Amino acid sequence: MRLTVPHLGHLDIFLGAMSRKIGPEFIFPPKTSSRTLQLGVKYSPESTCLPFKFILGNFIEALEKGADTIAMISDHGPCRVGMYDVVMQQILKDLGFQFDWITMDDTHILRDYLIRFNRERKRWGVSFWDSLEAIRFSWKKVKVSEFIERMAHKIRPLEMKRGETTRVQTDSMTLIDDASDFRALEEVQQRCREKFDRIEKDESRNPLKVLITGEGYMVINPHANQDIERRLGEMGVEVTRTVWFTSQITYALRLDCLNPRSKRSAIKASRPYLRHNIGGECNASIGYPILYKRDGYEGVIQLLPIGCMLEAVAKNLLVRVSHEHDIPVLTFSLSENLSETMITTRLSAFVDLLQKRREKRRRNR
Amino acid sequence: MSLRIGIPRALYYYRYFPLWKTFFEELGFEVIVSRPSHRGLVEQGFKFADDDTCIPIKMAFSHTLNIKDQVDFLFIPRLLSVEPRTCCCPRLAGLPEMLKYSIPNMPAILDPYVDERYRDSHLFHSLFRMASELGKRSREVKEAYRKGEKDYHVFRERMERGEKVPDLFPKGERESPLPQKKIALVGHPYCLYDPYFNFNLIKILEDAHVSLFLQEMVSRKDIETEIRPLRKDIYWSSGKEILGASLYYLRSKKVDGLIYLTCFACGVDSMIEPLVRHKIGENGGIFYLCLMIDEHTDPAGVQTRLEAFLETMERRKDHWRKE
């Protein structure tokens, strides 16, 4: 069995680490490129959302590379991700690919996972403790990767030589991917921290702070959002985003009660604007700006694939949030016709606006 | 003077109006429904609506604008699920807030929370709670709901028999003399029955001597039997209905052609339409047209495509006959 999964944040780091410890064999799709999107657009129904097209492209490329089993998540609405599996299977079969399909349903997410995991574990002859250890290690790896990302977000606006942070970040990611046990990982983390410290920084700058929120796939994947974090960073803006691999998992498993910046508390904060949790990231997209405004964030960027059912509601309500909490919101609704110039132009106008607001506030004080 | 309740003629009005109207009228409210869609009315709402939503939602904005100044309360139910084990489009769940925060000077909104998946938020319980807050006694409410439900069932039965219910087919009294073609029409109810939205599609078809088979004419039971072999839980109630009805017409060979009416940026249709198209391609035997309507479509475009479709059907049939 050669499994494949779509690119989704740090999913490949997590599963890659696990498969090296206990199996099964994973064939990851090649890095998402313009060819991926082209393939996806060519074979997808016209009016599906952008994540569908990216993921379909990923699957086609993975099957070309020799994968024979596809694992894909699913849910029970109202987002259309729950229907991806039927439509994608149909398209891939029509293209003449041979494959098995595993749908991971979210209704019994834990139970289902555990049963399937246990079965696979026995088949591969791995002991229970080994598998637990492997999961713990993979989790740690993702944690470290996210730590690196957060560090890069902080340092990028301060760097003297443009592009250095990105270079260090890419190097660090390869190091993390190569680490094979807990001690090596510890060392790698230390080394990465030193590397980041060595970057030449201008500490006198006081970067703007911007929050990136919106639909999960678009926020978490740099290839889908045109690397918006890097672009903003190089414009001298400190960014953070709302969707992280670990935060999504802890939310799904209800382990995030104590975190004040969790999705759960964001949904709570959105209550005055949207009384019921309608699913997906919609409520969180409304709630996070309110939470982060208290931390001194000055602007919000919302990302959504065009035609998204849930985020369109959030977009409507964010206008009101923006008024009442005095925080500018810029919405990108992205389709496959992406243009870099459009993104940079709108981003730099937004950054200018935030600078002006800051100056105005300083003058008034 | 009795309180006036406004119901926008949009979205699920086209499915549930007998229930809503009777319910409020029995309770002694005056019910004001917005005017049927026309150009001026519809375009007004587009200024307020967000450009990332679909047209039906934008039309809900228009119809709300049309009546908001004449009423004391607006009735905009928050539909999360209208059948057990399914859900509605999430935009419907956010609609009350979208309207409230986008349109200035809104009257109070009645937004009962309808979720048939859980026992305490069934339609009856939600309406009951809402009416109690308006100061109605429980016996009155129960009686009104019973009557409303009855009217709704009568309406559904009439639709199932293929009758032209006058509220949905205002000009449909004339039966075409010699129906030559049989065409099934599927889509969301608010796409099918708003003559402004679909450029009088039903009338155009009837004028072309087509006998129409509507999606409502397929019973619940048939839909369930058609969906079951797919081994997939189609979790949108509207999507389930559309897919089930299409598959039923495809299998039962009752029709020669099928028209799927959809609107731009509809999330449900973007997933269901490929399934319908694929099934028809697999089985063959009927003609298929997917008609997507957006804000810029004009009547000539729809007319042309329909004419071409009908002509193709005829030619092909002749061809088959010769063979």
- Shortest distance between the Cα of A91 and any Cα of chain B, in A, equals 9
pLDDT tens for residues B224-252? Answer: 888 888 888 888 888 899 999 999 998 88
Distance CA(A280)–CA(A79), nearest Å, equals 7
User: Using 50, 70 and 90 to split pLDDT, how confident is the model at B171?
Assistant: low
pLDDT of residue A108: 53
Mean pLDDT of B83-111: 86
Q: Write the CB contacts of A6 (distance below 8 Å, at least 6 apart in sequence).
A: A29, A54, A55, A58, A59, A72
CA dihedral sign, ordered A230, A231, A236, A242 = negative
- CB contact under 8 Å between A86 and B78, yes or no, is no
**Chain B residues whose beta carbon lies within 8 Å of the beta carbon of residue A312:** 50, 52-53, 91
Whether the pLDDT of residue B176 is over 60: the answer is no
> What is the distance in angstroms between the Cα of B179 and the nearest Cα belonging to chain A?
34
Nearest chain A residue to B281 by CA distance is A94
pLDDT digit string (tens) for A231-288? 999 898 999 988 888 888 888 777 777 777 888 888 888 888 888 888 778 888 899 9
**Minimum-distance CB partner of A278 among B50, B53, B94:** B94
Residues of B in contact with A319 (CB under 8 A): 50, 101-102
Minimum Cα–Cα distance from B88: chain A residue: A78
Query: Token pair 């039966």 is at which residue?
Result: B175
Q: Give the Cβ contact number of residue A275 at 10 Å.
A: 16
Determine the average pLDDT of the residues in B147-166.
Answer: 85
With beta carbons under 8 A apart, name residues in chain A contacting B50. 312, 315-316, 319
CB atoms within 10 A of CB A192: 23
pLDDT at position A201? 85
Share of chain A residues as helix, strand and coil, in percent rounded to the nearest 5: 60, 10, 30
Residues 71-100 of B with CB under 8 A from A: 78, 80, 86-91, 93-94, 97-98
**What pLDDT does residue B178 have?**
65
* B261 has a chain A CB within 8 A of its CB: no
Per CB-CB distance under 8 Å, the chain A contacts of B113 are: 275-276
For residue B274, list chain A residues with Cβ-Cβ distance below 8 A: 45, 87, 90-91
The answer to whether residue B177 scores a pLDDT higher than 70 is no
Q: Tell me how close the Cα of A308 comes to any Cα of chain B, in angstroms.
A: 7
Strands B73-75 and B4-7: parallel
* Closest chain B CA to residue A93: B278
Check residue B175 and give its pLDDT.
58
The reported pLDDT for the residue numbered A353 is 93
Count the neighbouring beta carbons within 10 Å of the beta carbon of residue A198: 10
A313–B264 CB contact, under 8 Å: no
Size of interface A-B (CB pairs under 8 A): 115
Q: Please, are residues A86 and A56 in contact by the beta-carbon 8 Å criterion?
A: no
Chain B positions touching A86 (Cβ under 8 A) are 230, 232, 275
Q: How far off is chain B from A32, nearest CA to CA, in Å?
A: 23
Interchain pair B236, A78: CB under 8 A: yes
**B313 in contact with A, Cβ within 8 Å:** no
| Chain B residues closer than 8 Å to A333 by CB | 52
What tens digit of pLDDT does each residue of B193-236 get? 888 888 888 888 888 888 888 888 888 888 888 888 888 888 88
Which residues lie closer than 8 Å to A254 by C-beta, 6 or more apart?
A: none
- Tell me if chain B has a CB within 8 Å of the CB of A103: no
Cβ-based contacts of A279 with chain B (< 8 Å): 90
Q: Which one of B50, B273, B292 has the shortest CB-CB distance to A312?
A: B50
Quick check: A272 contacting B, CB < 8 Å?
no
- Taking the C-alpha atoms of residue A4 and residue B83, their distance in angstroms, rounded to an integer, is 36
Residue A100: phi and psi, rounded to 5, are -100, 155
pLDDT confidence of residue A348? 93
Query: What is the mean predicted confidence (pLDDT) over B20-38?
Result: 88
Extract the residue ranges of chain A whose pLDDT is less than 50. Answer: none
- What pLDDT is recorded for position B53? 84
Q: For B133-180, what is the HEC assignment?
A: HCCCCHHHHHHHHHHHHHHHHHHHHHHHCCCCCCCCCCCCCCCCCCCC
pLDDT digits (tens, 9 = 90+) for A99-119: 988 887 765 566 777 777 788
Cβ contacts of residue B252 below 8 Å, gap of 6+?
none
Q: What percent of chain B has pLDDT over 70?
A: 97
Top-confidence range, A52-61, B39-48, B96-105, B164-173: A52-61
